[in-house]
A = this chain, B = another copy of it.
Amino acid sequence: MASSIHDLARHLNISIGTVSRALNGRADVNADTRQRVLEAAKKLNYSPNQSGRSLRRGSTYSIAFMLQPHPGDQQYGEPFFIPFLTGLQARLAESGLDLIVVMGAPGDYQQERLRRVVETRRADAVVLAWTRREDERIDYLTEAGFPFATLGRSRSGGTTYPSLDLDFEKAGADAVDRLVARGHRRIAAIRPSLDLNFGYLFLDGYRKALRRHGIEVDPGLIADGFINEAGGYQVTPRVLLAKDRPTAIIFNNDAMALGGCKAMAEMGIRPGQDIAVIVIVDTPLCRYFSPALTGFRPSLEPMGQRLAEMLLASLPAFAGEEGPRIMREVWPLELIARESD
């Protein structure tokens, strides 16, 4: 059905070698014949067979993204990833690469699946998300010498791989600064449990800013929970019932904020009036919630594109001729002030 390079060669009465060279833009082919080959390719609706090409060239022309459902909540996932994936895939497609998505089984933290991808060599590289502070996936990949990039930082693996992250530390500090400027001194922080790295970064920024303002850090105002609605709902009361009730809460996540606000509502506390609320990673939910939640907005799609570029530049087979590889970028989080603080 699909026409092969042999069909083209037969049709034009030339050898398959010449056809291949013409198609691949090699120098040693006559301009005229190249023209004819390209026309015939269009006419016969030719497109190269990926398996043949992959086999010969030894690369699969695809990148694997390890996607995970919410830990602690199989029912729904992270809308966060969709726009990121859009950017990632768009940029990869420009270079003729496909995006393979591998879902992590809840529980095993992807090690098993990752191993399978690497060993069967189904992808040329891997993109990891939700990096942990110490991430065994990163250790495994560096040890195996398999190319990868990460959305999010980690302390594992040194600085040998491209990574792109948001500046959670600054966002945490900015949130505190803003709240302090508005008169708050008792500020709580809700972040994800597990050792998701951005939870640490956020908390570091929060702590440092508090100290800078001469406010001592009260462990009773910090709580960890699952990074979803249930987690926020479950954990927020713990902080609200502290002896000296906080006047402001910073949530690491919109889903946790939603759960937290639910808990408040049940306790008769009105977010935005009785207590200030700020969310670190803004989503449309924040904008349309009542009260509209102040948050920090990431630019997800450009981040996807950028990480794809960084990854591509680190792969010998796809690297252009440009200079030094950019291995590490941290993007700002833009504050969107609304009604909740």
Interface residues of A (CB under 8 A from B): 2, 45, 47-52, 54-55, 60, 62, 65, 67, 69, 73-83, 85-86, 89-90, 93, 98-103, 105, 113, 119-122, 228-230, 232-233, 255, 258-259, 261-262, 265, 283-285, 287-290, 292, 300-301
Given contacts A79-B77, A82-B77, A258-B289, contact A230 B284 (CB under 8 A): yes
Given contacts A229-B288, A289-B262, contact A74 B83 (CB under 8 A): yes
Chain B residues near A85 (CB-CB < 8 A): 67, 101, 103
Chain B residues near A49 (CB-CB < 8 A): 55, 120-121
Q: How many angstroms between the C-alpha atoms of A50 and B100 in the bound complex?
A: 14
Q: Which residue of B lies closest to A145 (CB)?
A: B1
Q: Which residue of B lies closest to A287 (CB)?
A: B229
Chain B residues near A98 (CB-CB < 8 A): 100, 102, 122
B120 touches A50 (CB 8 A): yes
Chain B residues near A100 (CB-CB < 8 A): 62, 98-101
Q: How many angstroms between the C-alpha atoms of A85 and B104 in the bound complex?
A: 11
**Sampled A-B contacts (8; CB under 8 Å):** A62-B100, A74-B86, A74-B301, A76-B80, A79-B82, A100-B100, A229-B284, A262-B288
Chain B residues near A265 (CB-CB < 8 A): 290
Q: How many angstroms between the C-alpha atoms of A51 and B59 in the bound complex?
A: 9
Q: How many angstroms between the C-alpha atoms of A245 and B301 in the bound complex?
A: 41
How many subunits of this chain does the assembly comprise? Answer: 2
Chain B residues near A62 (CB-CB < 8 A): 100
A82 touches B67 (CB 8 A): yes
A76 touches B83 (CB 8 A): yes
Q: How many angstroms between the C-alpha atoms of A310 and B289 in the bound complex?
A: 39
Q: How many angstroms between the C-alpha atoms of A60 and B77 in the bound complex?
A: 28
A76 touches B69 (CB 8 A): no
Query: Which 4 residue pairs are nearest across A and B when measured between Cβ atoms?
Result: A77-B82, A51-B54, A51-B55, A79-B79
The residue among A69, A232, A289 with the most chain B CB atoms within 10 A of its own CB is A289
Partner of A83, one of B75, B262, B289: B75
Chain B residues near A75 (CB-CB < 8 A): 83, 284, 300-301
Partner of A290, one of B52, B67, B262: B262
Q: How many angstroms between the C-alpha atoms of A265 and B271 in the bound complex?
A: 14
Chain B residues near A121 (CB-CB < 8 A): 2, 49-50
A103 touches B86 (CB 8 A): yes
Q: Which residue of B lies closest to A301 (CB)?
A: B74
A294 vs chain B, min Cβ distance (A)? 15
Given contacts A77-B82, A285-B285, contact A47 B120 (CB under 8 A): yes
Q: How many angstroms between the C-alpha atoms of A74 and B74 in the bound complex?
A: 25
B69 touches A90 (CB 8 A): no
Q: How many angstroms between the C-alpha atoms of A67 and B67 in the bound complex?
A: 14
Q: Which residue of B lies closest to A79 (CB)?
A: B79
Given contacts A50-B60, A67-B82, contact A90 B77 (CB under 8 A): no
Chain B residues near A261 (CB-CB < 8 A): 288, 290
Given A51-B52, A90-B105: 17 more A-B contacts, CB < 8 Å: A48-B120, A49-B55, A50-B54, A52-B55, A69-B83, A76-B80, A76-B283, A76-B284, A77-B86, A99-B100, A229-B287, A230-B284, A230-B288, A258-B288, A259-B288, A261-B290, A262-B288
